[in-house]
Structure 1
Amino acid sequence: MNVDFINPFIETIDNILATMASMTCEHGKAYIKEGVGPLGVVTGVIPMDGDSVHGSLAISFSAGAIVCISSKMLGEEIAEVDETCHDLTGELTNMLSGGARKLLWEKGYNFEMAKPSLIAGDKDIEHSISAPVIVIPFTTKAGPFFIEVAIGSKLRRAASVI
């Protein structure tokens, strides 16, 4: 997996958490995921498709991470994973995909993203293609979360427009 493709997701989630939740996170070494189960209790999944990218993105939060992020972003105490956390996971998925898409577009990648779907519990994550899934693990003081990216062979640089 090309780090030019992964780094915008890392940069975007760092910015989202710093500005929207006054939180920091640290990312670990990316690895190839085994299995299709979720790595957290709530996951947002969004397909990506275009001339230069075909695949999908998922962000999966542990209970501690999404409860803390939700509490900080909304300015109110959230005690457990609830509908508010589910809604916020969808919003975070949209923010992550939009921010990363902008940074990738600046690097010459051109693609669209659809509306995210939400997975809660033990349902399998269905990426939109059959390809290795790269996981970027993150840690926060409240718990871990994970970004998954599955990209197909359609990946190539988009032509620059002058």
Structure 2
Amino acid sequence: MKDKVGLIIQTFTDAVVSVVETMAGVKTEPGRAFMKNAPTAKGDISGVIGMSSSNGCGRGSMSLTFTNESALGIVGRMIGEDFVEVNKDVVDAVGEMTNMVCGQGRKGMAEFGIVYSGAIPTVISGAGHTIRHVSASSVLAVPFQTEFGPVTVEICFG
């Protein structure tokens, strides 16, 4: 089981690096994965997406959280505009990056026999917002550093 957890962490880590670097041209350095114990987000704006196994027995969720600064910088680079505040375009882009990271992560998991379908992402914003993952299982988090500030991916499967 521990080997699968490591593979899942690596798959989602690779997905974040790939999406942020490909879509925005922003280098993304992953930090050390950790178990997250509190529902408070590690930033100001989060895309959250639910997942379920094909037989309906497994559920999971993934979130991608940005500080306001990292969201504005990464989305600005991605779209080619300068943003000074989080607006509808930034929210939409965070949702789309969440969807892409989740899709790449699920594709990677399928390669080692774990198949999940994804739902439509939602975006939550505001300092101190909480993320309620769809499973009561442990939440694994991986922090990333970019030139615009931190980004965190969280994954949870039950």
TM-score (norm 2): 0.90
Find out whether 1:99 has 2:109 as its counterpart: no
Q: Counterpart of 1:27?
A: 30
RMSD after superposition: 1.4
TM alignment of 1:48-59, pairs within 5 A: 48-50=51-53, 51=55, 53-59=58-64
Q: Counterpart of 1:129?
A: 135
1:42 positional shift:
0.5
Find out whether 1:88 has 2:88 as its counterpart: no
Find out whether 1:77 has 2:94 as its counterpart: no
Structure 1: distance between partners of 2:69 and 2:129: 19
1:82 positional shift:
2.0
Structure number, greater radius of gyration:
1
Question: SS of 1:3's equivalent?
Answer: helix
Q: Give the conservation status (yes or no) of the 8 Å contact 1:53–1:110.
A: no
Amino acid at match of 1:14: V
Q: Counterpart of 1:38?
A: 41
Choose from 126, 148, 151 the match for 1:145: 151
Identity, % of aligned pairs? 32
1:34 positional shift:
2.1
Q: Give the conservation status (yes or no) of the 8 Å contact 1:17–1:23.
A: yes
TM-score (norm 1): 0.88
Amino acid at match of 2:119: A
1:73 positional shift:
0.6
Structure 2: distance between partners of 1:112 and 1:38: 24
1:125 positional shift:
0.8
Structure 2: distance between partners of 1:24 and 1:115: 27
Question: SS of 2:144's equivalent?
Answer: strand
1:18 positional shift:
1.6
Structure 2: distance between partners of 1:68 and 1:18: 13
Q: Give the conservation status (yes or no) of the 8 Å contact 1:53–1:109.
A: no
Structure 2: distance between partners of 1:28 and 1:150: 18
Aligned pair count reads 152
Question: SS of 1:90's equivalent?
Answer: helix
Q: Give the conservation status (yes or no) of the 8 Å contact 2:52–2:117.
A: yes
Amino acid at match of 2:17: D
Question: SS of 1:131's equivalent?
Answer: coil
1:97 positional shift:
0.7
Unaligned stretches of 5+ residues in structure 1: 153-162
Structure 1: distance between partners of 2:90 and 2:105: 22
